[in-house]
Amino acid sequence: MFFPTSFSLGLLSAAVAVNAAIHDVQVGSSNGTLAYTPEAIFADVGDQVVFHFQQKNHTATQSSFANPCGAMPGGFDSGFNPVPANQTDNFPTYTITVNNTTPIWVFCDQAANTAASHCGAGMVFAVNCGADGSPNSFTNFKNAALAIGTELKAEAASVSAAAATAAPAAMTAAATEALTTAAYGDVTIPAAPSASLVTVTVTVEASQWTTVYSSYPGSPEATPASLTGNTYTVKVGNNGTLTYDPPFVMAQPRDTIVFEFHQKNHTATQSSFAAPCLPLASVNGSTPLNSGFMPVAANATSFPTWSVTVNTTDPLWFFCEQHAPDGSSHCGAGMVFAVNPVQTSARNFTAFENLAVALNGTNATNSGASTTSTSPSASPTNGASNLGTNVALILGSLFALAAGLL
Ligand SMILES: *[C@@H]1O[C@H](CO)[C@@H](O)[C@H](O)[C@H]1NC(C)=O
Ligand SMILES: *[C@@H]1O[C@H](CO)[C@@H](O)[C@H](O)[C@H]1NC(C)=O
Ligand SMILES: *[C@@H]1O[C@H](CO)[C@@H](O)[C@H](O)[C@H]1NC(C)=O
Ligand SMILES: *[C@@H]1O[C@H](CO)[C@@H](O)[C@H](O)[C@H]1NC(C)=O
Ligand SMILES: *[C@@H]1O[C@H](CO)[C@@H](O)[C@H](O)[C@H]1NC(C)=O
Ligand SMILES: *[C@@H]1O[C@H](CO)[C@@H](O)[C@H](O)[C@H]1NC(C)=O
Ligand SMILES: *[C@@H]1O[C@H](CO)[C@@H](O)[C@H](O)[C@H]1NC(C)=O
Ligand SMILES: *[C@@H]1O[C@H](CO)[C@@H](O)[C@H](O)[C@H]1NC(C)=O
Ligand SMILES: *[C@@H]1O[C@H](CO)[C@@H](O)[C@H](O)[C@H]1NC(C)=O
Ligand SMILES: *[C@@H]1O[C@H](CO)[C@@H](O)[C@H](O)[C@H]1NC(C)=O
Ligand SMILES: *[C@@H]1O[C@H](CO)[C@@H](O)[C@H](O)[C@H]1NC(C)=O
Ligand SMILES: *[C@@H]1O[C@H](CO)[C@@H](O)[C@H](O)[C@H]1NC(C)=O
């Protein structure tokens, strides 16, 4: 459907300044269409994209290929631009500048996460997407958004059906998903997705290489944003809260996650979806990620950091190992973090956070509150086989990627 015509990677910035173009994009229309027109463009570095907001109440919000209908942490957002039906000119505009050749993915945030989601109706836009037929084509992006819309509508329908028969909504929604049990505690969780090995040729800037990685429904691309990757800073325990801020990031291989530890004494410790508040066990000599405890004095003004380089497209799950003086765990209070959770799946970030609270919260029957001296290398005493399965899945593709990519 869409082919690059004037897509030039090699333009020098000096040349760009002279030739910088303005691309006008209509957002919605007088007849209420839920679309950006045109819906995909190619632009050179230095070009500007001007969004013209027509009738209704739309946004132009940056997302990512992996999560088409979710705001990208740190991305741009026009905010809502309500335009009454009888307004015929002086439409509000929002302008972005194209800073590099990395694809820019955009959606309308109106009615987010509801059956009426504009994004779920296909109201998405892209700058410098992959050509048709490539994994990150506009068609694939839009289809992913439409799939989210279909899911949201099905969810709404099953919720209202469940409400009508007075059955618990969660049961109905969960019935369509494969299930398994958590690695400890007595909680049913969505099963891990099945992955397939994919071989792709990756082109970044002037470099090209072949990589083999596990792909599963909703997994992000294996293509780094650039040779050095992007950097995401995550504040740990900002302002005394038991949180990671942002709570998750969508990252590509070679991106760096910088954990910045604020006051108190937190960790960023790798776990798994099925065992959210247990350090990931070492398998065949692998070293699961763990910052260790990072005590920060109350009067500190500079904060220690710990960095992780992403080298997989699989979700990575983290928690804080600390316990409060009353024995309750930070993890059970929902202090968890993720890289690349598949937000369109049942194993999304909210599900992970809820599971941590259910398994290790103060109300959990098996909260681990008494184990105040959990050692990072301790192996789980129960549910070991479930944990093992999960670990194998993650590490298998980690190794595959590490071998092909870095
Ligand atoms: C609605 O507006 C769009 C853009 O102006 C146009 O392409 C489309 O044909 C219109 N649809 C109808 C049903 O009028
Ligand atoms: C525009 O949409 C947003 C989000 O749904 C809503 O909060 C806001 O009130 C709307 N504005 C108008 C004027 O309808
Ligand atoms: C649009 O309609 C509202 C209310 O009916 C009115 O107050 C406003 O002046 C109208 N605006 C235009 C541009 O006609
Ligand atoms: C381009 O860079 C400017 C300044 O850093 C930033 O505000 C803007 O959001 C960037 N544009 C895009 C599309 O990311
Ligand atoms: C930090 O926490 C205090 C008290 O809980 C609150 O008043 C303040 O607004 C917070 N500051 C920020 C930047 O969140
Ligand atoms: C940080 O917490 C750990 C685990 O609770 C503890 O062993 C360590 O002594 C604490 N460090 C400081 C400086 O409080
Ligand atoms: C913080 O307080 C401690 C003890 O009161 C003191 O030794 C230290 O110098 C202070 N640090 C800063 C950055 O003010
Ligand atoms: C990436 O690979 C290196 C070396 O294999 C490893 O030490 C590192 O922990 C990996 N990063 C992640 C996020 O798994
Ligand atoms: C995300 O997780 C929540 C909580 O488990 C669940 O209600 C929701 O359906 C999940 N979203 C998707 C798209 O599966
Ligand atoms: C947790 O326990 C407290 C007191 O036992 C109770 O009031 C509260 O409703 C419980 N919360 C949940 C989510 O079960
Ligand atoms: C969470 O609960 C499990 C099972 O009781 C326990 O082994 C683990 O140490 C707990 N995690 C934390 C951080 O308390
Ligand atoms: C660990 O190594 C053994 C022996 O080489 C192998 O059979 C097993 O599959 C490996 N486990 C994982 C999770 O890679």
In the chain, count of helices (H) and strands (E)?
Answer: 5, 24
Q: Distance from the CA of 127 to the center of ligand 4, in angstroms?
A: 13
Q: For a pocket test of ligand 8, which of 269, 290, 311, 316 has the largest count of ligand atoms closer than 8 A to its C-beta? A: 311
Residue 156 to residue 76: CA distance in whole angstroms: 29
Q: What does the alpha-carbon distance between residue 56 and residue 43 come to, in Å, rounded to a whole number?
A: 27
Beta strands in 39-169 (DSSP E): 40-41, 48-53, 56-58, 61-63, 81-83, 93-97, 104-107, 124-127
Ligand 4 mutation target, pool 23, 97, 101, most atoms within 8 A of CB: 97
Residue 394: inside a domain: yes
Residues whose CB falls within 8 Å of the CB of residue 151, separated by 6 or more in sequence, listed in order: 120, 344
Measured from the Cα of 289, ligand 8's closest atom is 9
Total length of the chain: 406
In a domain, 405, yes or no: no
User: Cα(367) to centroid of ligand 6, in Å?
Assistant: 20
Same domain for 131 and 187? no
* Residue 92 · residue 141 · CB < 8 Å: no
The CA-based angle 144-353-108, given to 5 degrees, is 35
Which amino acid is residue 236, in one-letter code? V
Could you tell me if 188 and 134 lie in one domain? Answer: no
pTM: 0.55
Q: Is residue 222 part of a domain?
A: yes
SS3 state of residue 204: strand
Confidence (pLDDT) at 291 = 98
Cβ of 311 closer than 6 Å to ligand 8, yes or no, is yes
82 Cβ below 6 A of ligand 2:
yes
Atom 7 (ligand 12) nearest CA: 284
| Sole residue written with tokens 């979710």 | 70
Q: Which of 17-26, 129-138, 331-340 has the lowest mean pLDDT?
A: 17-26
Average pLDDT, the chain: 81
> Which atom of ligand 12 is least distant from the CA of 283?
13
Same domain, 193 and 324: yes
Residues 117 and 250 in one domain: no
For ligand 8, whether the C-beta of 281 sits within 6 Å is: no
> Would you place residue 161 in the very low, low, confident or very high pLDDT band (cuts 50, 70, 90)?
low
Tell me how far the alpha carbon of residue 291 lies from the centroid of ligand 1, in angstroms.
Answer: 54
Domain shared by 207 and 258, yes or no: yes
> Is 33's C-beta closer than 6 angstroms to any atom of ligand 1?
yes
Measured CA to CA, the distance from residue 359 to residue 337 in angstroms comes to 16
Q: Does residue 157 form part of some domain?
A: no
- The pLDDT of residue 103: 95
Are residue 189 and residue 293 in the same domain, yes or no? yes
Looking at the structure, do residues 189 and 142 belong to the same domain, yes or no? no
The answer as to whether 167 is a domain residue is: no
- Examine residue 37 and state whether it is found in any structural domain, yes or no: yes
Distance 261 CA to ligand 8 centre (A): 21
Ligand 3, CB within 6 Å, residue ranges: 84, 86-87
Q: Of all atoms in ligand 9, which is nearest to the CA of residue 148? A: 13
pLDDT at 18: 63
Please tell me whether residues 210 and 296 are part of one structural domain: yes
Is residue 132 within 8 A of residue 4, CB to CB? The reply is: no
Identify whether residues 303 and 386 lie together within a single domain. yes
CA atoms within 13 A on the CB side of 321: 23
Considering the chain, what percentage of its residues have pLDDT values greater than 70?
Answer: 80
Selected residue with higher pLDDT from 211 and 288:
288
Q: Are the C-beta atoms of 337 and 257 separated by less than 8 Å? A: no
What total number of domains does the chain contain? 2
CB 249 within 8 A of CB 256: no
124 or 404: which leads in pLDDT = 124
Q: Which residues contact 271 (CB under 8 A, 6 or more apart)?
A: 277, 278, 279, 280, 317, 318, 319, 336
- Predicted confidence band at 117 (pLDDT cuts at 50, 70, 90)? very high
d(CA 405, CA 398) in angstroms, rounded, equals 10
Is 33 within the bounds of a domain?
yes
Q: Is 164 in the pocket of ligand 7 (CB under 6 A)?
A: no
DSSP 119-184: GGGT-EEEESPBPTTSTTBHHHHHHHHHHHHHHHHHHHHHHHHHHHTT--HHHHHHHTS-EEE-SS
What pLDDT is attached to residue 397? 38
Residue that wins the pLDDT comparison between 8 and 301: 301
Domain interval for residue 183:
177-400
**142 plus 198 within the same structural domain:** no
pLDDT band at 17 (very low <50, low <70, confident <90, very high): low
| CA 108–ligand 8 middle distance (angstroms) | 35
In angstroms, the CA 190 to CA 287 distance is 26
Distance 329 CA to ligand 11 centre (A): 8
Residues 6+ apart with CB under 8 A from 389: 192
Residue whose C-alpha is closest to residue 10's, from 49, 46, 44, 47: 44
DSSP letter, residue 247: S
Residue (of 250, 269, 249, 272) closest to 261 by Cα position: 269
